[in-house]
C-alpha cells in the first residue's frame, strides 16, 4: 500500500505574523488581541511567534519599526 505524502508545511514567515498582528491589534487593541488568535490567523505556531518576536509586545514593536521604515 503506497504511503501518502505528508501535508506540506507552510514556510515560516515572520511577515505573515506581522500582518495578522496588525489586523488583530486594529480590531481588538494590543491588550485585547491574543497571541493565539494572531498565530491562528497567520497559520503559524505560537513557538514561531515567540522565536521571531519574543512576545506580543515584541510583535507590536516590530510593527512600529516596520511602519516607520516604510514611511522614511
State residue 71's pLDDT score: 73
Whether 27 shows a pLDDT value over 90: the answer reads yes
CA angle 21, 44, 69 (to 5 degrees): 40
Mean pLDDT of 9-23: 86
What lies within 8 Å, CB to CB, of 66 at 6+ separation is 18
pTM of model > 0.85: no
State residue 69's pLDDT score: 86
Mean pLDDT of 8-23: 83
Full set of structural domains in the chain with CATH: 14-71 (1.10.10.60)
CB of 48 within 8 A of CB of 17?
A: yes
Whether 48 shows a pLDDT value over 90: the answer reads yes
Whether 23 shows a pLDDT value over 60: the answer reads yes
Amino acid at each position: 500500500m503506497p504511503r501518502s505524502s505528508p501535508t506540506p508545511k507552510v514556510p515560516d514567515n515572520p511577515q505573515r505574523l506581522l500582518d495578522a498582528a496588525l489586523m488583530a491589534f486594529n480590531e481588538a487593541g494590543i491588550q485585547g488581541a491574543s497571541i493565539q488568535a494572531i498565530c491562528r490567523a497567520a497559520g503559524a505556531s505560537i513557538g514561531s511567534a515567540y522565536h521571531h518576536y519574543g512576545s506580543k509586545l515584541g510583535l507590536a514593536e516590530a510593527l512600529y519599526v516596520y511602519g516607520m521604515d516604510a514611511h522614511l
